Structure 1
Amino acid sequence: MAQTIVSKGKDVDDAIMKGLHILSVSKNEVDIEVVQYEKKGLFRSREAIVRLTRQELQATTEADDTIKQPYQTAMHEPSYASSRENKHSEKASDWEGKAWVQNRQLYAQESETQIPTVTVEKGVTLLKNYKPVKGTTVIKRTDHLQLEAESETIGTKWDITVDNLKMNTILNIVPGYKIDREIVDHEPAPNVHIQVKETKTLINDLTYENVVERLHELGITSGINAEQIQEALVTTEPGRFTVATGKEPTPGNDGWIEWLVQLKEMEDLKEMEDGTVDFRDFKTYPSVQKGQIIGRIHPPSEGVPGQNVFGESIPPKQSKPIIFRAGQGIVLMDDEERIVATEHGRPHLVKQGRRQKISILPKLVHRGDVNLSSGNIRFIGDVEIRGEIHEEMTVDAEGDVFLFGNVNGATVNAGYRIIGQRNILNSNISAGKSSMLMSEVNQILAVLNDQLKQIIQAVNQLTKTAAFKTTDFEKRGIRPLLLLLVEKKFKTFPSIVKKYVTVVNKGKNRLEDIWLDHSKAIETLFSLDVQNEYKSTTKLAELSQWTEELFELSEIPLEPNSSITVPYAINSTIYCSGDVNITGQGSFQTTIRCGGKLTVDGVVRGGLIYALQGVSLSEVGVKNGVKTTIMVPKNQTINMRKVHDGTTIVIGTKTYTFLEEKTNVIARLTEEETIIIN
């Protein structure tokens, strides 16, 4: 029986030498198996271990032994001499100069003219005489050859991130994998390339404890989503999982007004077949009595704080009170809750963002003509004209204007609506004075606000220079510096301020006191009569903030918007901040500008039309050469059921003139800013 021992040493060679000494044999008299290779590390090392088996004496000749190895392999393992019927009849010459792999074991048989080679690549370790070999090497029968397939494991990669708002915690995960390799058999060949078969298995070794521990390290305590964590633990694909979510604050409610009376008409005006308007529904307008409580102001309610993923409180958005202004015929009681009418009339509400103003509009009914005998009519309320309005006469109302007769060579202005039953001839009519005023204020404030910001930026830069003395502020303030900047760099600023002050003063009866106060503050800033008003940039910054707030307020449209409805207009000018509707024969040589949509049921012959919200026309143009121009912004369309040649349309900055008559036209601007006609 063969004798076997196990030997240890600092490396494989040392272990073999110690084993040979114990057995008192030479290296050629034992079979050597490496059990464990040595390992050297910074904190931990291990010894090499080998198993030595003493060979039994064989009664064979040296020549027989030379041939025996490959034949023994062929007899006890699957034969590669597949072309031979009897594997025992193979000759030693069939294996000479070749190497082969069988059952994960590498064999070699050199010849007098050929020494076989083997090539090892990634994933395989070849030990030649107990030493690792890389790349290509020659091997002989007497070499101790050992092949090992290497397994490879890549662990799961993951991390946890928190968004900038601290409201979402994201677990990013890329599952790992394990590659198992198996050495593939290779037929005898002079040059053998060791091949392996790979099996890849996905591994997700992330644990619930790993995630929770990391969340704890980051200080994330609120809104942890256990379900999302569990999904991340079983995923086999890269993914993002929201493992913790903060709680958004619940906003409170802004202040609001509970109206206790009807504020809108119960029915709309009815148009008759001939294009005129039926006024028999006037009685559906709401009205209130003196002393009647018409509304209640409700204060804002507080919201509920939220919480981010770190458990920090998030305050809710500040709720704001309603800004109420009592107009004509209205009083707010001392409790600042009840809104009471002090006059009889029609309640009229104007809203702009959080600001609301309600007035009681009386109604003036003029049963005759407006002429030299009656004089011009100016009224703070609604006006109803039962007769005609003669040349060079004016009707001006803060509310609505109702016209039963013709308007010939006159001027009609309404705060909100104009509703006409007859013709508008050679006249100027306009509706929406408050909206038009606010639009003008908005345009000026846009420039004023921008330049004021630039002035503040310039002041801040100059005060930081070495040449500027801080004591100058204390003695003279910043007004000299402001005046210098205006004189040298912002030369148009004083004229803008002057225009703004003029417009606000002109419309003071329609604007709230806040506008008047602001215009005075702007005017005072650059007045030569005021000394040391602005000693630092703080007050200047406050004025800029105030200007910004009013500019944003001016961007909010007034409600309700204005409108004009008439059946027929000839050689007139119509201006309205809202919609314009011509319900009868149409318009002839009339200029129409409206901030809303223009609708004409009849014909449009000549004139210039501009509508901010697009147009819808029945028939446009004329064959006798009278020019008709229709204009809209670039984002609007022009709809015409019939258009004559010679008619010009303008969409944005692009112009198109029709060369022939067309029907059912829809004109619009493309993204490339070319007009297309459908």
Structure 2
Amino acid sequence: MEKNHIFTGESVDEAVQVALAALNVAEESVDIKILQNEGPGFFGLGRTKAKIKVVHKMPSEETGWENMLQKYTAENTSSEERGEELQLNLDGKAWIKEGSLYFQDTAEQKPVLILPGGVTALKNGKPVEKKTILSQGDRLDFSLEKQARETSWSVKVDNQKQLVELRVTPGAYFVSTIEDAPPAANLYISTASQEIPLNQLTEKDIYEQLERMDIVEGICEEEIKAATRAERPASFIIAKGKLPVHGNNGKINFIIDIRQQSGNYKEKLDGTIDFRESIHIPTVNEGTVFASIIEPTPGEDGISVFGEVLKAKAGKPIQLAPGAGIEINEETNEVVAVSSGRPHVDQRGQSVRLSILPKLLHRGDLSLQDGNIHFIGDVEVHGSVHEQMMIEAAGDIWIHKNVDKASLQSSKSIIINANALNSKIVAGQSSAIYEEALKLLKQFLYNYPSFLKVFQQVTSSEAFQSSYNGKNGWGPLVKALQEKKFPEVKKSAEALTAYINAQKTLFEGKWKDFSDMIQYGLLTFHHKSPLAEDHFFEIERQAFQLHDVLESPSASSSRIALKYAAYSEMYCDGEVDILGKGAIHSHIYADGYVTIHQKFIGGKISAKKGMNIKEAGSPGGAKTLLQTDSTGVIKIEHAHPDVLLSVGGINHKIRMEEFYLTARLDSEGRMKISRNN
């Protein structure tokens, strides 16, 4: 059945265009029949409209199952689709098709056009308000609001003057179109907008900005071009500098392994521990080349994006002080042993002292009739060390039996096969001792530079030079400055020199020389011969030099090993092992790890790396403090009440008997205690 539609218009051509737009078809797909041409109305009044009938062309007849399917679907279509003659009612309506406005009005019905914001129109050449009535012959011209976004960009230099970052947010313009709308009496115009990137940044803009910022080095042309082509927000590194490569410090390269190596401890028949049999001690023969000096490298200068040269720090040379038994071949930078013995290395920062240590062997006990021992090498005592005796050694100390109310001080390790009772034992450069020296040195340096500045101002003034009697030296002036303005200089100088003298076996000769300089220049006011003015500046120079040495980490790693300790103090820059019954009411300070194989009752352990104790405290509640750094771990198999654990300054007190504790700090710095049976 044919599909018929009736349309009208001011002319036949207009009626055809209205029909094609309303049906959304091409002219060749329909048959058009003119029912009435346009012309004058009755009695010459008005005009009659043209009327046409539009009929969809039917497809060719199909056969077989296709014909059956066509018949079946036709039976299920609406009355309009079955071809009933129906006039599409467009009277008084307007519609949009492919961006163009169409409308059909009658004397009784006029379509209304409603404009949104951003859309303006001219009707017959005159601006249209928000709403307008459409009548036959009206001509509408639309104007859509045009919008655009400017490109934004910025250039930033990093703090190291190494990278220049360009951040770009491209601009855009927005193309608006009027959307199609079906016939309606009140036609609301709606628009669609499409964003099209528009990057207005040019290479010229960027280069001019770099010039304004004085950026001249490492400009990346490809990145600049890429930035001008960006269609979305992005960052570009448009210039790069070069960081300086600092030189490597000089160092000592050891050709042989000079480290002591420990094995399992062995207990002898008399109950003492044979520590020596568990330790390998390296030795060298006379004439052996056992090390070489590696010179520092100068480094390579860098450059900033502003063209500034960034100077590289040259590596620091090793400050090698050859000790006994050592010679240095200046041509080859080789270190040669001129005597047989054990190589000894004492290093802190870039200061290194090398020596070949001989060995002193004392047979039997060490008592008052033998006198104290001060030796530059290793010391071995076959018996015990008795009350009030002292051993000071630059090498290891090995005591075959007991140490009772005595003092042992070694630059290396101390091994006691039996017990230490009421004794002081110091091995290596324990931070507990050197931290006190650093504290006193800082107090001195806090006061002394101000004193030295005033001293220099006074001595360089003409009035002073004309009135001061130089034959008396600087003593009276120094004393007057201390009493009137700088009393803290004298106080801190006295404290520092007293500590150095009390620990003289633990400090090298330069410390003794420094102490003597302070004593002679700041604490002694009557001199046989006048001091040079430079003496006081040399005090400051050496003070800062020693300060830097103490601030540098020690390369030493000594150890203390013994069977049992009671009422004793131990200081060690490495590990402490107590393998027998343990220790009671003793204080142990170690930069490494502390291992107590049995009990630790009363006293204090401060071990930077941590500790492992079989039993801590006592049923009676003896005050026991176990302390480690924030990265250390405390392990206890059996803990009694009143044992105080301290990890990184966070404390926890044991309230009841507990077993298999592990204490450490978690990632948030809180004390974490785990209990594993």
Are 1:511 and 2:516 an aligned pair? Answer: no
Contact 1:562 1:578 in 2 (8 A): yes
Q: 2:438 aligns with which of 437, 442, 454?
A: 442
In structure 2, how many angstroms separate the alpha carbons of the residues matched to 1:627 and 1:494?
39
Q: Secondary structure at the match of 1:374?
A: coil
Describe the superposition over 1:96-130 as per-residue Cα deviations: whole angstroms up to 9, x where unpaired: xxx654543457869899994633313x3423454
Q: 1:593 aligns with which of 589, 601, 608?
A: 589
Aligned counterpart, 1:176: 171
Q: 2:388 aligns with which of 389, 392, 404?
A: 392
Q: Secondary structure at the match of 2:366?
A: coil
Aligned counterpart, 1:20: none
Contact 2:425 2:569 in 1 (8 A): yes
Q: Secondary structure at the match of 1:606?
A: strand
Structure 1 position 172, deviation (Å): 1.6
Structure 1 position 416, deviation (Å): 1.8
Contact 1:362 1:382 in 2 (8 A): yes
Aligned counterpart, 2:10: none
Structural mapping, 1:212-223, within 5 Å = 222-223=217-218
Aligned counterpart, 1:286: 283
Aligned counterpart, 2:189: 194
1:271 corresponds to which letter in structure 2? Y
In structure 2, how many angstroms separate the alpha carbons of the residues matched to 1:86 and 1:474?
128
Contact 2:665 2:672 in 1 (8 A): yes
Q: 1:502 aligns with which of 498, 502, 508?
A: 498
Structure 1 430/599 Cα, relative in aligned 2: closer, same or farther at 3 Å? same
Aligned counterpart, 2:547: 551
Are 1:353 and 2:343 an aligned pair? Answer: no
In structure 1, how many angstroms separate the alpha carbons of the residues matched to 2:518 and 2:623?
48
Aligned counterpart, 1:622: 618
Structure 1 position 220, deviation (Å): 5.2
Are 1:412 and 2:408 an aligned pair? Answer: yes
Structural mapping, 1:297-312, within 5 Å = 297-312=293-308
1:597 corresponds to which letter in structure 2? Y
Structure 1 position 401, deviation (Å): 0.4
Structure 1 position 617, deviation (Å): 0.8
1:443 corresponds to which letter in structure 2? K
Contact 2:284 2:337 in 1 (8 A): no
Structure 1 position 206, deviation (Å): 5.8
Aligned counterpart, 1:48: none
Aligned counterpart, 2:556: 560
Aligned counterpart, 1:246: 241
Percent pairwise identity: 29
The alignment's TM-score, normalised by the length of structure 1, stands at: 0.71
Contact 1:126 1:132 in 2 (8 A): yes
Q: 1:667 aligns with which of 663, 666, 675?
A: 663
Aligned counterpart, 1:78: none
Q: Secondary structure at the match of 1:444?
A: helix
RMSD in angstroms over aligned alpha carbons? 4.9
In structure 2, how many angstroms separate the alpha carbons of the residues matched to 1:573 and 1:674?
28
Aligned counterpart, 1:165: 160
In structure 1, how many angstroms separate the alpha carbons of the residues matched to 2:298 and 2:460?
46
In structure 1, how many angstroms separate the alpha carbons of the residues matched to 2:275 and 2:655?
41
Q: 1:119 aligns with which of 107, 115, 137?
A: 115
Structure 1 551/645 Cα, relative in aligned 2: closer, same or farther at 3 Å? same
Aligned counterpart, 2:251: 256
Structure 1 654/417 Cα, relative in aligned 2: closer, same or farther at 3 Å? same
Are 1:271 and 2:265 an aligned pair? Answer: yes
Structure 1 209/546 Cα, relative in aligned 2: closer, same or farther at 3 Å? farther
Structure 1 371/350 Cα, relative in aligned 2: closer, same or farther at 3 Å? same
In structure 2, how many angstroms separate the alpha carbons of the residues matched to 1:476 and 1:132?
99
1:328 corresponds to which letter in structure 2? A
Structure 1 position 384, deviation (Å): 0.7
2:262 corresponds to which letter in structure 1? D
Q: Secondary structure at the match of 2:195?
A: strand
Structure 1 position 581, deviation (Å): 1.0
Contact 1:105 1:147 in 2 (8 A): no
Aligned counterpart, 2:4: none
Structure 1 499/359 Cα, relative in aligned 2: closer, same or farther at 3 Å? same
Structure 1 508/370 Cα, relative in aligned 2: closer, same or farther at 3 Å? closer
Are 1:429 and 2:425 an aligned pair? Answer: yes
2:559 corresponds to which letter in structure 1? S
In structure 1, how many angstroms separate the alpha carbons of the residues matched to 2:596 and 2:500?
35
Q: 2:599 aligns with which of 596, 603, 608?
A: 603
Contact 1:116 1:140 in 2 (8 A): yes
Contact 2:431 2:573 in 1 (8 A): yes
Q: 1:318 aligns with which of 300, 314, 317?
A: 314
Describe the superposition over 1:390-440 as per-residue Cα deviations: whole angstroms up to 9, x where unpaired: 333332222210121122333322222101222223433222257665332
Structure 1 580/185 Cα, relative in aligned 2: closer, same or farther at 3 Å? same
2:643 corresponds to which letter in structure 1? T
Are 1:237 and 2:232 an aligned pair? Answer: yes
2:166 corresponds to which letter in structure 1? L
Describe the superposition over 1:3-61 as per-residue Cα deviations: whole angstroms up to 9, x where unpaired: xxxxxxxxxxxxxxxxxxxxxxxxxxxxxxxxxxxxxxxxxxxxxxxxxxxxxxx9656
Q: Secondary structure at the match of 2:130?
A: strand
Describe the superposition over 1:480-535 as per-residue Cα deviations: whole angstroms up to 9, x where unpaired: 99999988997645422331233345556633537845984798579988999999
Structure 1 153/85 Cα, relative in aligned 2: closer, same or farther at 3 Å? farther
Aligned counterpart, 1:376: 372
Contact 2:149 2:173 in 1 (8 A): yes
Contact 2:266 2:277 in 1 (8 A): no
Structure 1 473/117 Cα, relative in aligned 2: closer, same or farther at 3 Å? farther
In structure 2, how many angstroms separate the alpha carbons of the residues matched to 1:162 and 1:371?
73
Describe the superposition over 1:225-253 as per-residue Cα deviations: whole angstroms up to 9, x where unpaired: 46655665665432212233223333333
Aligned residues: 589
Structure 1 position 357, deviation (Å): 1.0
Contact 1:110 1:140 in 2 (8 A): no
Structure 1 126/443 Cα, relative in aligned 2: closer, same or farther at 3 Å? same
Are 1:647 and 2:643 an aligned pair? Answer: yes
Structure 1 178/663 Cα, relative in aligned 2: closer, same or farther at 3 Å? same
Structure 1 447/119 Cα, relative in aligned 2: closer, same or farther at 3 Å? farther
Q: Secondary structure at the match of 1:590?
A: strand
1:136 corresponds to which letter in structure 2? K
Point out where structure 2 has 5 or more consecutive residues left out of the alignment: 1-37, 56-79, 466-473
Structure 1 576/556 Cα, relative in aligned 2: closer, same or farther at 3 Å? same
1:620 corresponds to which letter in structure 2? A
Structural mapping, 1:84-99, within 5 Å = 90=89, 94-95=92-93
Contact 1:640 1:666 in 2 (8 A): yes
Contact 2:429 2:554 in 1 (8 A): no
In structure 1, how many angstroms separate the alpha carbons of the residues matched to 2:672 and 2:480?
49
Structure 1 550/63 Cα, relative in aligned 2: closer, same or farther at 3 Å? farther
Contact 1:614 1:637 in 2 (8 A): yes
Describe the superposition over 1:337-379 as per-residue Cα deviations: whole angstroms up to 9, x where unpaired: 4545454432211111111111222110112111244333222
Structure 1 299/449 Cα, relative in aligned 2: closer, same or farther at 3 Å? same
